[in-house]
Amino acid sequence: MTELLQTLCALPGPSSCEDAVRNFVLKKAKPFADEIRTDAIGNVMVFRKGKKALDRPVAVCAHMDEVGVIVKKITEDGMLKFGFVGGVDPRVVIGKGVRFGDIRGVIGIKAVHLTTASERRTMPKTKDLYIDIGATSRAAAEEKVSLGDYGVFDSDVVLFGDGLIKAKAIDDRIGCATLLTLLEEQPPVDTWFCFTVQEETGLRGAASMAYALDPGFALVIEGTTAADLAEVTDGKAVCHVRGGAVIPFMDGATIYDASLFELLRDACIRRGIAWQTKTRISGGTDAGRIHKSRAGVRVCAVAAPVRYIHSPSSVAALSDCEAVLQAARAFLEELGGETE
């Protein structure tokens, strides 16, 4: 799955502009699909008939979009003022590359020797940043980009260290890679593999997807923040890279179904799959919309722990990514009565 993850992370796909990821998903899924649906906002829903039918099918979900930038203003000297698409910490982007299609740029800020003492003590604001695309004037910049253009971080995918991967968009291309891998296998139960849009800007694609399919169960596959740095102690680390798949019991948008949490946890224990849970209640996933759809959907989640999430250089362990795949497979096996 490593090569697949590398390919997916390299693709551009900011919220509402997931076209490159969607086209890749459709091409990879088509040979294995019994049915493929798309909707008006860009979700891709792939059905594969399982060994067993349920009264209401299972949905296994991952979002295609990533955080990015959007052009809001072009200055007289050709610099781009911008906003973030999704939640991004301004501290992590200064001096980093971005791209708008084939147009490359660098995110800049006022030089430190021009700042005041109070400015140096505060976190930079997005309004203080700009993107330099090398243009000499507004007119020159307008030949390359337009207001409303979406961009993504310009970041190489690198394997490094003891089994780590560095890339943009690990959140949630790890989920997409997992779904595409599972699609190649006949699932134990009838399953919809759902690739959603606009998760980073409010879990939007998940709402229309869940309404259309009305699943009985949903498993959301994600990347989640890991703060396991040297000086971060106890529960503040949230979860740990190389600690296994993360099975949350609650986050800022969802209280996960207790029975499904236990089912997924116990399935991992029986199969020897490394797992952990989150020690801090924060964030949210597509489950936040899915579980409220129609008359309600039972939901659970599994995620890869990711350092420096929503940045140009997110870091995850390949062993954790493999554990996520194994956990998702185990979930479907349990629903199909295939226990170990």
Q: What are the pLDDT digits (tens) for 83-142?
A: 999 999 999 999 999 999 999 999 999 777 766 777 677 888 899 999 999 999 999 999
Say which of 66, 199, 200, 334 is annotated catalytic: 199
**What mean pLDDT, rounded, does the chain reach?**
95
Question: H or E element: which one contains 24?
Answer: helix 19-29
Establish whether 199 is a catalytic residue. yes
| Cα angle for residues 55, 28, 61 (degrees, 5° grid) | 40
Whether residue 201 contacts residue 18, with contact meaning beta carbons closer than 8 Å, is answered with: no
Q: What's this model's pTM, rounded to 2 decimal places?
A: 0.95
pLDDT (tens digit per residue) in 42-99: 999 999 999 999 888 999 999 999 999 999 999 999 999 999 999 999 999 999 999 9
Going from the N-terminus, what domains does the chain have, and what CATH number goes with each?
2-66+168-335 (3.40.630.10), 68-153 (2.40.30.40)
| pLDDT tens profile 239-292 | 999 999 999 999 999 999 999 999 999 999 999 999 999 998 888 999 999 999
Cα 81 from Cα 78, distance rounded (Å): 10
